[in-house]
Structure 1
């Protein structure tokens, strides 16, 4: 039997910059509506200058106060943009604000020129960022579990970890790695992370990578259920595939400055009618995904949100139930 399916919605904080409106109230209203419609979580991204948006810790703290049941997640926090001790304190603070409902997705930094410039702006080397991220996570977990006041690693060293505020629950939140399917990334996930949050373009690639992670968990002596298989997917709903593709292409060009055709080779994008998108997402569920983080590929999420909840999610959840009963 597999884990039950959970579905999260990515909150449109990047879209605020795209439209020039920085009013956080619509984001909080969207989170409340997502809770009402039966979503399990809301997530938000992180970027300082590459793809500017409001800080995810602040946004999710506000969302936590506006909701009761929803998990809140970072998808994903670029840990290098904050000093490791500051990051540990921010995460612990958010864990308390969310009353333990935090899912912490982290990323090393998307390999694009804009991301490299962002690292330079805060004085952090772009090279070696994956190793520094892994050490940052180990430092955080040491601080959250009373593992001693001093951390010494290849990239990082810190003291006074015992003086930091503890998280809401001993050990802190689950930490997910937002990463691809390279052998090194899959090994890192199996070795130390609690969740995997990729955006692989095909369900076939997802299934192969997930099989690799499961095999490596045994190699590292970790339980078979130590890693939650997630998916970051962008969905564009429309009356037909052509109109949905056209809107999604405009959205992607505004978001990344690159066409959908190019980004589709890197990330997971599904567009079309509700039944088309349900079948596309179900392919990932059949491949093993158990926590979907869905980004709506539109600057006006309200019409698509209800269609997603009423038509797409029931079909995807039914697929997950079928998988559990097999």
Structure 2
């Protein structure tokens, strides 16, 4: 799928989980981070979601607070585990958040990473873990019908009878609802779902080659579905450690993955995108993804130290972001 010459957009993840690991659940530091990122010229701000696997503040609440503290940046979830939530409650939250954000919202959605900790989350919330991807897709179809056809919502054959009433909820600020992106991998089933149903694709694939191959596949599948070119936004979720000393950056990132995931950088980098080194080196690494088709990069700063986070945020804005936005 062609992306033309659309300018690359660069966003940054709010450190909600990083703060939680350090035992800090205060909202003001996150708002300060958000204000600074907006002032530095980042295009978007994002936050993750987890109940028990990697606990942190609720993303809808955090983004509502950030919406009041910012004026320009796009706000997004990366990603909201919508499959954990009843479709009615999820629709109410998303529509309300879209109003708080004055239409600046992108809802990145996930069905839940296939891991024992995620399964524990679902079981604790009383939601079936099996079939969660299909549940997410059904939820998205319900939301879309409610938001685009306020008087014509009807339950499909696989949808539960207690999902009625969506048309009576307040509509989102964005006509037809905010963009809904699938935060996902590059399996054949996932690529088909993105091409058929979603407005964006937000993977964290470990190599530009795997990204390009998957993105080309989405383009072919979307065309087969009759969807217009450029209808799916190609995004990327990538973790960076910006430090002029490349070896120090690698060590810091390894300490980060061990604290965050309980696994080494080498283990996690097999399936996630991790880059480290100087701003120039990180820009070169991310630039390969841009050449592979990525147009909205969501950067997670790989540090638990708030001072290091701010320093890297500033350095990324100074040297990394302009390099990624430069034409060619």
Q: Which residue of 2 aligns with 1:312?
A: 320
Distance in 2 (CA, whole Å) between partners of 1:8 and 1:79 is: 22
Contact 1:136 1:156 in 2 (8 A): no
Distance in 2, Cα, partners of 1:40 & 1:82 = 28
- Do the aligned partners of 1:150 and 1:161 also contact (CA within 8 Å) in 2? no
Aligned to 1:274: 279
The separation in 2 between residues aligned to 1:276 and 1:111, in whole angstroms, is 32
Q: 2:25 aligns with which of 7, 22, 27?
A: 22
Displacement of 1:97 after TM fit? 0.3
Partner of 1:108: 111
Does residue 256 (structure 1) correspond to residue 264 (structure 2)? The answer is no
2:250 paired residue number: 245
Runs of 4+ in structure 1 deviating by more than 4 angstroms, as ranges, are none
Q: 1:233 touches 1:294 (CA, 8 Å); kept in 2?
A: yes
Instruction: Trace 1:267-306 onto structure 2 (pairs within 5 A).
Output: 267-300=272-305, 301-306=309-314
Which residue among 143, 154, 162 is the counterpart of 2:158? 154
Match of residue 11 from structure 2: 8
Structure 2: how far apart are the matches of 1:222 and 1:81? 29
- The offset of 1:149, in angstroms, is 3.5
Answer yes or no: is the 8 Å Cα contact 2:109–2:181 preserved in 1: yes
TM-score, normalisation: structure 1: 0.96
Q: Which residues in structure 2 correspond to 1:162-181 (within 5 Å)?
A: 162-181=167-186
In the comparison of the two structures, how many residue pairs are matched? 320
Encode CA deviations 1:15-35: one digit per residue, 9 max, x unaligned: 121000111101001111111
Correspondence for 1:186? 191
Which residue of 234, 237, 248 maps to 1:232?
A: 237
Preserved contact between residue 182 and residue 194 of structure 2 (Cα < 8 Å):
yes
Query: How well do the aligned residues superpose, as a CA RMSD in angstroms?
Result: 1.0
2:322 aligned counterpart, secondary structure: helix
Tell me, in whole angstroms, the C-alpha distance in 1 between the residues paired with 2:159 and 2:239: 34
Q: Partners of 2:160 and 2:253 in 1: how far apart?
A: 41
Give the 3-state SS of the residue equivalent to 2:177 in structure 1. Answer: coil
Tell me which moved more, 97-106 or 161-170.
Answer: 161-170
Relative to the length of structure 2, the TM-score reads 0.96
CA-CA distance at 1:155 after TM superposition: 5.0
